[in-house]
Amino acid sequence: MTHRSELHALALRTLIPGFTGTTAPPWALELLEAGLGGYCLFAFNIADADQLARLNASLREASPDAVIAIDEEGGDVTRLHTATGSPYPGNAALGAVDDPELTTAIHRSIGSELVQAGVNLNFAPAVDVNVEDDNPVIGTRSFGRDPEAVARHAVAAVRGLQQAGVAACAKHFPGHGATSVDSHLTVPTVDVSLDVLRRRELVPFQAVIDAGIQVIMSGHIRVPALTGDAPGTLSHAAMTGLLREEMGFDGVIVTDAMEMQGASGATGMPEAIVRALMAGCDLICTGGESQKAGPMTELVHATADAVADAVVSGRMPLERLESAVARGDALRAWQREHHAAAANRPLGLEAARRALHLEGTVPRLDDAVIVQIDSPANIAVGEFPWGVTPLLTKRLPDAVVRHTDVESDESAELSALAAGRPIVVVSRDTHRRPAARALLAGLAAGPSPVVLVEMGWPAAWRPEGVTAYLATFGAAGANAQAAAERLLGD
């Protein structure tokens, strides 16, 4: 029988928590020296690329083969570029361009930046098929609503990242695109048959498996026909029966953040992590919020103890834990064999320009009123500067800027302010926000020509009466630059 201390050490190897700050605290380095699997980094860990490289060098000094993971999808989900917005457009823009070679090149450049900074696992791409326009957490993170198109670009993105030397991770299995709630806050349900799931959600996952992806991330999503009442992360039928046995994936299964209510809200994190390992997951991401309460040492060791207890009691086979560790070690071996290519940031702006979709004609904007509808970011995206306002006002000194959270209808006031001058409304996911739609309707009924710059998911909805509608397919820095050029006639 394996000694309990050995079980504890094996369990540590499966865990990738987080820490706060731009330098590694002593406890974080001590956990690595004790055998911790690695860390997931977040925006609050990163000031710039040089600092990130120094941070990761210190982590590797403590554990040379540590998994250092990050969410760098491009577009709205960026950790490297939260101060400025990403120089690369996200998946929706790349899906709109529909040039897989461009998608590969963009992700090769993203991967190169990550590897040069010491990151070896990127939690990207999102390969969810976004069939639900009201999806609050996927949206522009998706390549689109057609499974075959999403699969085509998912494979291209994986190819680019892994050519650069960073392991790619497709998410969120078995698919988060048909939900209208956020799994950070609750357990979404995708109530479809297995036949629909296989023809829609699973198509991109099968494609990236066949293309040699290293990692797939579980989603905290309930699919009653597959998982019963359990979220996918905790479902043996989903993680082992479907993903491993039916679809043939033999790489690493990593969990989405286990602190999310969709995973651990009912049981607490240690028990949820035991269940995730039993379901078939190999690496456990705890998340970005839990460490803000203080050092993770106690939670990490409590979790490792819970896993060891599950093996000692016979609840979890030792072979399951050993298999999880072996897959993680195989990933580390793959990472040691790959090296970075050169980054190509200008390509991001080219892609963003190609993604633009304009309906109508943009009037001259010399003295325009620019109205940005501010919206709270979801947890996955986080806060970053977005919009075209600063780029426009650099060139339009006579423009007037207003920000609104549309808590009340300001259309009459803004129309009076414009007094017939053009109004540019900058918004995200306008179709999901009744107050924003009402504001647009009020402005369009006035005397001013109205231009809507939609920087979120471009649903089928269109505002009536506007002069022009410009969809950017994302709010990254590259999307904003491309939109400003088009609005200014460059």
Least confident span in 97-111, 349-363, 369-383, 453-467: 369-383
Q: Does residue 183 carry a pLDDT above 80?
A: no
Which residues make beta-bridge pairs with 41? 70
- Give residue 188's pLDDT band: very low, low, confident or very high (50, 70, 90): confident
Domain ranges of the chain: 4-336, 356-488
For domain 356-488, the CATH class is: alpha beta
Question: Which pLDDT score is estimated for 341?
Answer: 67
Question: Which pLDDT score is estimated for 408?
Answer: 72
Give CA–CA dist 80/178, Å, rounded: 29
Give CA–CA dist 301/296, Å, rounded: 9
Question: Which pLDDT score is estimated for 2?
Answer: 66
User: Which residue in 23, 120, 21, 114 sits closest to 72, CA to CA?
Assistant: 114
Q: Does residue 380 carry a pLDDT above 70?
A: no
Q: Does residue 400 carry a pLDDT above 80?
A: yes
- Give residue 291's pLDDT band: very low, low, confident or very high (50, 70, 90): low
Least confident span in 111-115, 289-293, 312-316, 388-392: 289-293
Percent of the chain predicted with pLDDT > 70:
94
**pLDDT tens readout for residues 5-19:** 899 999 999 999 999
Question: Which pLDDT score is estimated for 405?
Answer: 84
Give CA–CA dist 453/481, Å, rounded: 12
What are the φ/ψ torsions at residue 468 (nearest 5 degrees)?
-150, 150
Evaluate whether 487 touches 453 at the Cβ level (below 8 Å). Answer: yes
Give CA–CA dist 389/366, Å, rounded: 13
Question: Which pLDDT score is estimated for 342?
Answer: 74
Question: Which pLDDT score is estimated for 273?
Answer: 96
**pLDDT tens readout for residues 340-349:** 667 888 899 9
Based on the residue annotation, tell me whether 403 is a catalytic residue of this protein: no
End-to-end CA distance of the chain: 71
Given the residues 81, 107, 176, 184, the one annotated as active site: 184
Total Cβ atoms within 10 A of residue 224: 13
Cα→Cα distances 321→6, 268, 333, Å: 11, 20, 19
Averaged pLDDT for residues 82-88: 91
Name residue 250's amino acid: D
What are the φ/ψ torsions at residue 253 (nearest 5 degrees)?
-100, 120
Cis upstream peptide for 174 (omega within 30°): yes
**pLDDT tens readout for residues 263-284:** 766 788 899 999 999 999 999 9
Averaged pLDDT for residues 84-91: 94
User: Which residue in 133, 232, 183, 231 sits closest to 380, CA to CA?
Assistant: 183
Between 148 and 459, the higher pLDDT residue:
148
Question: Which pLDDT score is estimated for 102?
Answer: 98
Give CA–CA dist 418/397, Å, rounded: 15
Question: Which pLDDT score is estimated for 8?
Answer: 95
Q: Does residue 287 carry a pLDDT above 90?
A: no
User: Which residue in 35, 111, 33 sits closest to 73, CA to CA?
Assistant: 111
- Give residue 83's pLDDT band: very low, low, confident or very high (50, 70, 90): confident
Give CA–CA dist 298/278, Å, rounded: 22
**pLDDT tens readout for residues 133-148:** 887 789 999 999 999 9
In which element (H, E) is residue 236 found?
helix 236-236
Burial of 13-40, coded b for 16+ CB within 10 Å and e otherwise, reads bbbbbbbbeeebeeebbebbebbbbbbb
Q: Does residue 339 carry a pLDDT above 80?
A: no
Q: What would the DSSP string read from start to end of 164-175?
A: HT-EEEEEEET-
- Give residue 407's pLDDT band: very low, low, confident or very high (50, 70, 90): confident
Give CA–CA dist 428/454, Å, rounded: 6
Cα→Cα distances 486→130, 134, 353, 364, Å: 27, 27, 8, 11
Based on the residue annotation, tell me whether 256 is a catalytic residue of this protein: yes
Give CA–CA dist 129/399, Å, rounded: 39
Total Cβ atoms within 10 A of residue 400: 16
Give CA–CA dist 454/245, Å, rounded: 42
Evaluate whether 157 touches 108 at the Cβ level (below 8 Å). Answer: no
User: Which residue in 261, 258, 239 sits closest to 250, CA to CA?
Assistant: 239
Least confident span in 33-37, 40-44, 338-342, 473-477: 338-342
Question: Which pLDDT score is estimated for 122?
Answer: 98
Percent of the chain predicted with pLDDT > 90:
77
Report the topology of domain 4-336: TIM Barrel (3.20.20)
For the full predicted model, state whether its pTM sits above 0.85: yes
Give CA–CA dist 383/380, Å, rounded: 10
Average pLDDT over the chain, rounded to whole?
92
Given the residues 76, 182, 256, 282, the one annotated as active site: 256
Question: Which pLDDT score is estimated for 289?
Answer: 67
Question: Which pLDDT score is estimated for 384?
Answer: 66
- DSSP-derived pairing of the beta strands 468-471 and 252-254: unpaired
Averaged pLDDT for residues 438-445: 92
**pLDDT tens readout for residues 229-248:** 999 999 999 999 999 999 99
